[in-house]
A and B are shown apart, each in its own frame.
Chain A
């Protein structure tokens, strides 16, 4: 009965490859997010989707492309992986009936690019 789940938990790949990370939430929320946590544990928003529509796109290389097939899913596809993409990626969700609502986070995907 995990609220926000991500797969895979660990992802090790070579530079130049294309990979995807999947996220699903069963909370009935209408907004989902992707965050990147770097090696210094700094957290930064990458994308936000509300009802399957992109509402926030921070300064992220266009090699990163989020896809939301429905309100419960927000997948992250990364093309031409680079060493600097190595990080932990967190998916989150919230209900935007008010921006006071807290976000629920997934367990994270640790991406290592060799």
Chain B
């Protein structure tokens, strides 16, 4: 069975600083990995995905993620955080038909 771990409930970062939201996964076979963002009282929005190829994936709003097969990680990154990036971030894995989500990490960017 597949699983996703987001070890941090909350990440705090000052505006303008780089940010990292961590994700590790466990799945048999080659995974499809996703990041979604949920703003307050809104649905989930797709940020980026890794399917195959380049380990560094670029997505929406300046976010990127690095796939590391040996460490089974798919950390979300952004070089310079904005206050408007404050939201709940979900990592997800999909080896077959079911999309399994991590428990989410709240990102708080302070001015």
Q: Which residues of A contact B (CB under 8 A)?
A: 4, 33, 40-45, 48, 55-56, 90, 92, 96, 99-100, 102-108
List, in ascending order, chain B residues with CB within 8 A of A90's CB. 43-44
| A42 and B103 in contact, given A56-B98, A99-B94, A99-B97 (Cβ under 8 angstroms) | yes
Instruction: Compute how far the CA of A107 lies from the CA of B44 in the bound complex, rounded to whole angstroms.
Output: 8
Please state if A45 and B98 are interface contacts (CB–CB under 8 Å).
yes
Within 8 A of A (CB), among B20-50: 32, 34, 36, 38, 41-46, 49
Instruction: Compute how far the CA of A7 lies from the CA of B18 in the bound complex, rounded to whole angstroms.
Output: 38
List, in ascending order, chain A residues with CB within 8 A of B45's CB. 105
Instruction: Compute how far the CA of A40 lies from the CA of B34 in the bound complex, rounded to whole angstroms.
Output: 21
Main secondary structure of the interface of B (DSSP, over half): loop
Please state if A103 and B46 are interface contacts (CB–CB under 8 Å).
yes
| A108 and B43 in contact, given A42-B104, A100-B32 (Cβ under 8 angstroms) | yes
Give the top 8 A-B pairs by smallest Cβ distance, nearest first.
A105-B43, A105-B44, A43-B101, A102-B46, A100-B51, A107-B43, A100-B32, A41-B104
| A48 and B32 in contact, given A100-B51, A107-B43, A108-B42 (Cβ under 8 angstroms) | no
List, in ascending order, chain B residues with CB within 8 A of A42's CB. 101, 103-104
Q: List 24 A-B contacts (CB under 8 A).
A: A4-B43, A33-B99, A41-B103, A41-B104, A42-B104, A43-B101, A45-B100, A55-B97, A56-B97, A92-B44, A96-B97, A99-B94, A99-B95, A100-B32, A100-B49, A100-B51, A102-B49, A105-B36, A105-B45, A106-B43, A107-B42, A107-B43, A108-B41, A108-B43
List, in ascending order, chain B residues with CB within 8 A of A100's CB. 32, 49, 51, 94
List, in ascending order, chain A residues with CB within 8 A of B32's CB. 99-100
List, in ascending order, chain A residues with CB within 8 A of B97's CB. 48, 55-56, 96, 99
